[in-house]
Every structure is written in structure tokens, then in C-alpha cells.
Amino acid sequence: MMAVLKQRQDNTALLVLASVGLALVTILSVWRLKQCKYRLIHETGGAMFYGLLVGLAVRWLPFDWGQHVVNIGETVYTCGGLNSTPHILTVNITPHFHYYRHVGKVNQSCPPVSAPLETFDPKVLFNLFLPTIIFHGAYTLNQKRFIENFGSVLTFAFLGTIISCVTIGACVYGFTRLMVLLGQAADGDFFLTDCLLFGAIISATDPVSVIGLLSELRMDLDLHTLLFGESVLNDAVAIVLTHAITTYSQMEAGHSFDTPAFFLSVGYFLGVLAGSLLLGFIFTVITALLTKFTRLCENPLLETVVFFLLSWSSFLSAEACGLSGIVAVLFCGMSQARYTVHNLSSEGRTRTKQLFEAFNFLGEIFIFSSMGYILSTFPHHAFKALFISGAFLSIFISRACNIYPLSFLLNLGRTTKIPCTFQHFMMFAGLRGAVAFSLAARDTSTEVRRTILTTTLLVVGFTIWVLGTAADPMLRCLDIRVGVDADENPEDLSLEVATGRPDTTGGLWHHLDYKYLKPLLTHCGPPLSDSLPRCCGVFARLLGSPHVQEVEEQLCETEPDDSALDSVKTENQLLPTVGDSGSEHQEDLLEGDLGLGTAAALAREA
């Protein structure tokens, strides 16, 4: 009887149950702490902490975790001629050949971690939850602010990450030389490319933790946009950079500089970026046209599901093509919020937002608890004290080399300067997280890569627990206003639109957006037949909305921002309002600029 019961015990169910239980404990305890005004601890930190605890329990408790530990009497086979440990083993068991996949090393003293790891399979987590988190961030982004600060965000994300990568690489390389001097490592253990690789992996700030921090503190919108935009875009940069460096180090001969390989890497970098952007936009076009030309909006459930699946597909297809899924889903989210949202029914709009919100929340918790779990159960940690010290030192140095000089340069061109307090906080808020971890965990075959994984996990833990917790006091200390109501100035949003003279900004992008994309993808904007040359008349009539009304224009322009604000508003209601006094001295920071200030300056003159 017991045997049957035992047999019925579903191991998968048990492991899923454990993660669900972990998530529940995290949610409830963090929520409880927040109620008691301990607002410093965020869900991500809590989740990672509990994951760590569970991992320690799995590792050290004397319990058979359903694992096959070699029992006395269990047959151990020896395969002729097998010296290495291949990932896939092809065995000739007459009359067939069979495939066997490597599970793990047998170790009687320490419970093997592979089976629970399979449940916390990072691939599943990343394919399922990472896109929804990024999408939610992009979908609820204040678009006007983002476009205003686009030039600065781009500078921080691209130049900043490259500076950061190089600085970290150089700094850590110095420490590895010290290790060689002190006899802690051999001369050929760490190459410069390895250190640069570590730099690429660790230099990107993490959107998940930064979004968590930002939604918690509701700080100034410009600062919010800068931090969020940087964190999202620099992930993409880091991913592409990592692969470019890997490509380069695979191609170069004898670890000396190789010019063709370098340019090939740069070309790869640009190609991946452009491809991902395009792919994300293609999925938006599909969704927008589908919702515009069919009566899908009559069925909010179908609409929501189709919207969700298509947005998710942008990530998946980018990953499947070898592009950057994060960039694709980011751009997809932003363009969905700009175009497709207008075609959805009002119930569909609420539903999509709430669905992504729930996924986002669950995803953060699952991803971070899995990180904590892996930190404590990964069996091949390689702790190198000097490497770790070098890494910790370098992340501060590199962040300083990134933020202060770039802010100085940007302030030369910006109409609204980035104040010093913002710079200090940006320097401080360099939280690392899921993406760095996923990049580090992708390959742990060599000692160097294992050292990188261990160090990455420690850096992630440190930034989330220490920096994340200290962010709130830091903001007070820097006297940056928090508890900002995102809908403070809804008028100036609609005002700009109501004047109906977007052409004065002169931007090519705005022209394309307003004259072609809006009328093509939504029911708003000027009729396509006006924008397109006469020869495209048939095309315009076919794709243009039959019921375009100029009156709709204002409505359409303001709605996406409303939807973005709504979600912030919801959060506002939930949190105790802290630091509202700060909003009294409203800084004059409500106008940024696109690129280097020309656009906003022109708009102002007009």
C-alpha cells in the first residue's frame, strides 16, 4: 500500500509546490514588513533571501531528496575509452543506440542539486517571466518622458556600459595579475578577454530590480526614466557585448589583438541590435493591424490572450533567431503602448495591464528566489577572494567613470540639466540582477567561468540587499523628492497634442510616427491618403481607417499615458505616502530634450 502511495507521489508537484510556497512566504512576509513601515526591504531581496535559505536547507539537511545516491550494490558501469565527461553520451545497448544526458556527479556527502535545479530551470524562468517583466516595464513607461530623455538614456546605456565594461575588465585584470604575483593563480588562468567578459556580464544594471526599486520609491519622473531606460537598454548592450567578446576570444589567435575579429564583433553587435529592434516592431505591427482590422475587440478575453501571446512571441522569436529577446520585447512593449493600445477595447486595456502586472510580480519573485537558491546550491562555486575584491571595487569605480563624465557631457547639451543629486543617486543605484546572472550561468564549463558565476552571484546579492535597502535613506539624504504622483501634469501632455503642431519639433521620428505609423496602425492621426504621395492612393484607402476623425486625435494621444499613469496610481493607493513634502519644491525638470536639446528648445520657441 505504501509502495503505491509512494509511487503516486508526484515529484514535479512537490517541487512546484515548494516554489509556490516560497513565493507565498516571500510575498506575505515582505508585505507584513511593509505594513510595519519597514519599507526598505523589497520583494526581490526577500525572494533571494528565502531562496538562499531553502538552498542551504537542501544542501545541509540530512534528507534524501528523491535523488539516486549510489547505494551499495547499485551497478556502476564503466564505458570503454571514456575519459572526459560528455554532455550527451551515446551508448550501444544492443540492439539499439541510446542517448543519455549528463545529470551530475555522484557525491555521497553532499546531496546532488541537479534534480531540484531542473525545476528552477533558469531557461524556463527566463523564457516565461523575463519577457513579461520587461514588457510590463516598457508598456507602463511614461512615453513622453522617455522620448524627452531618449538621448541621455541612449548615451548612458551604450557609452556608459562600454565604459563600464572596459573599466571593470581593466580593474579586474589588475587584480588577476596580483593573484599571479601572490601565487594564487597560474599565469595562463585569466586572460584580458576573460576579464572583459566579466566586465560585460556585470556592467549592466538590471531592469527587474531597478523597476522594483523605482515602483517602490516613486521618485522624480526624469530620474525614473533615466534609471529605467538605462537599465533596460544596457541589458541589451551587455548581452550583445558578452557575445561579441566571446566571439572575439574564440576567433583571435594567441590572445593578441586581431583587427578583423574586432570589427566582426562590432558588426555583430550592431546587427543584433538592429535586428532585435526590427523584430519587436514587426510584432507590434502584426498586433496593431490585427486589432485594427478585425473585430477582436468585441471579445476582451480573446483580445487579451492574443495581445499577450504576440508580445511574448517577440521575445521568443528574437531568442530563437539568436537576437536579443530583451531588446525586442522592450521595443515591442513601447510600441504596443504607443499604437496597439488605441485599438483595444477599454476592458481589454485593463485586462492586458493587469495580466502583465500579475506576471511581472510573480516573475520577480520566482527569478530572484531561484537566484538565491542557486547561490547556495551550485556545487562548483569557485571563490577567489582577490577576484571578488577586485570585482566589488571595480563596480563602484566603473559606475563613477560612467555616470559623472557622461552626465557632465550631457549637461552641456541638455536644456534641463541632470542635477548633482541625481548623478549621486544614479551612481548609487547600479543594481545588478537576473540578466547578469543568466549571462554568467550560460556556461560554467571552465574554472574561469565558474569564478565569474560565483562572483556575479555575490555582486548581485550585495547590490540588491545592501544598495537596494539603502536606496530609500539615500534619497532622503540627497533630498530628492519621492512619492511623486505620476499624473501631476497631465495637462502639459494633452496640451502639446491639442496644439496639433507636432511638426514644429521637426524630428524625423515624430514625422514618421504622426504622419504614417499612427494612421496606419491605429484609427487616429491624419488620414493616410493625405500623408502618402498620390500614387499610393489604393494602398492608403486599403490600410487607412475608414472612420478617421481628427477629433479622436486628442483622445488617442492622451490615452496611453493615462493607462501608464493608472498603474502608478494604483500603486500609489497601496503605499503609505512618504516624503510627499518633497513634492512641494517642484523642480523645473519637466522638460527634457530629445538628443541634445534642439527639439525641446525649438518646441519652446514655438
Nearer to a second copy, 14 or 466 (CB): 14
Nearer to a second copy, 81 or 254 (CB): 81
Nearest to 594 by CA among 525, 521, 502: 502
Query: Can you tell me which of 305, 427, 470, 474 binds a second copy, judged by CB under 8 A?
Result: 305
Binding to a second copy (CB under 8 A): which residues in 270-299? 290, 295-296, 298-299
Task: Check whether the bond before 95 is cis (ω within 30° of 0).
Answer: yes
Nearer to a second copy, 321 or 602 (CB): 321
Contact, 128 vs 438, CB < 8 A?
A: no
Nearer to a second copy, 222 or 319 (CB): 319
Minimal distance, residue 447 CB to a second copy, in Å? 16
Residue 56 DSSP symbol: H
Nearer to a second copy, 88 or 535 (CB): 88
Segment interacting with a second copy (CB under 8 A) among 17-25, 221-229, 336-344, 393-401: 17-25
Contact, 428 vs 467, CB < 8 A?
A: yes
Minimal distance, residue 482 CB to a second copy, in Å? 19
Quick check: 340 binds a second copy (CB under 8 A)?
A: no
Segment interacting with a second copy (CB under 8 A) among 15-23, 385-393, 496-504, 555-563: 15-23
Nearer to a second copy, 358 or 512 (CB): 358
What's the CA gap between 516 and 510, in Å, rounded? 10
Minimal distance, residue 350 CB to a second copy, in Å? 9
Binding to a second copy (CB under 8 A): which residues in 76-115? 76-85, 88-94, 96-107, 112, 114
Nearer to a second copy, 74 or 588 (CB): 74
Could you tell me the CA-to-CA distances from 148 to 141, 418, 508, 590 in Å, in that order?
13, 13, 14, 10
What's the CA gap between 524 and 477, in Å, rounded? 46
Which residues, including other chains, have CB under 8 Å from residue 412's CB and lie 6 or more apart?
Answer: none
Which residues, including other chains, have CB under 8 Å from residue 376's CB and lie 6 or more apart?
Answer: 51, 52, 53, 54, 55, 56, 58, 59
Q: Burial, 95: exposed, middle or buried (Cβ in 10 Å; 0-12, 13-18, 19+)?
A: exposed
Minimal distance, residue 25 CB to a second copy, in Å? 10
Binding to a second copy (CB under 8 A): which residues in 554-583? 570, 573-574
Spacing of C-alpha 450 from chain mean position: 23
What's the CA gap between 434 and 148, in Å, rounded? 28
Nearer to a second copy, 3 or 61 (CB): 3
Nearer to a second copy, 354 or 581 (CB): 354
Nearer to a second copy, 155 or 287 (CB): 287
E strand or H helix that includes residue 541: helix 537-543
Binding to a second copy (CB under 8 A): which residues in 229-248? 243, 246-247
Quick check: 304 binds a second copy (CB under 8 A)?
A: yes
* Helix runs in 221-258, H state only: 221-251
Binding to a second copy (CB under 8 A): which residues in 19-38? 20-21, 23-24, 27-28, 31, 35
What's the CA gap between 373 and 85, in Å, rounded? 25
Nearer to a second copy, 379 or 526 (CB): 379
Query: Can you tell me which of 321, 458, 474, 590 binds a second copy, judged by CB under 8 A?
Result: 321
What's the CA gap between 413 and 507, in Å, rounded? 17
E strand or H helix that includes residue 5: helix 2-8
Quick check: 516 binds a second copy (CB under 8 A)?
A: no
Binding to a second copy (CB under 8 A): which residues in 415-454? none
Query: Can you tell me which of 268, 404, 462, 465 binds a second copy, judged by CB under 8 A?
Result: 268
Which residues, including other chains, have CB under 8 Å from residue 549's CB and lie 6 or more apart?
Answer: none
Minimal distance, residue 235 CB to a second copy, in Å? 16
Nearest to 131 by CA among 296, 276, 346: 276
Quick check: 322 binds a second copy (CB under 8 A)?
A: yes
C-alpha cell at 125: 524562468
Binding to a second copy (CB under 8 A): which residues in 181-210? none
Bridge partners (DSSP) of residue 348 are none
Minimal distance, residue 398 CB to a second copy, in Å? 26
Spacing of C-alpha 431 from chain mean position: 11
With contacts defined by CB under 8 A, how many residues of the chain interact with a second copy?
98
Nearer to a second copy, 304 or 456 (CB): 304
Quick check: 345 binds a second copy (CB under 8 A)?
A: no
Q: CB neighbours (10 Å) of residue 192?
A: 15
Nearest to 433 by CA among 246, 208, 102, 112: 208
Q: What angle do CA 197, 203, 207 make, to 5 degrees?
A: 130
Query: Can you tell me which of 37, 64, 74, 256 binds a second copy, judged by CB under 8 A?
Result: 74
Q: Which residue has cell 517571466?
A: 129
Query: Can you tell me which of 46, 51, 229, 300 binds a second copy, judged by CB under 8 A?
Result: 300
Sheet strands (E) in 406-536: none
Quick check: 124 binds a second copy (CB under 8 A)?
A: yes
Nearer to a second copy, 267 or 537 (CB): 267
Segment interacting with a second copy (CB under 8 A) among 57-65, 150-158, 310-318, 497-505: 310-318
Minimal distance, residue 105 CB to a second copy, in Å? 5
Q: Which residue has cell 523628492?
A: 481
Binding to a second copy (CB under 8 A): which residues in 361-390? 361-362
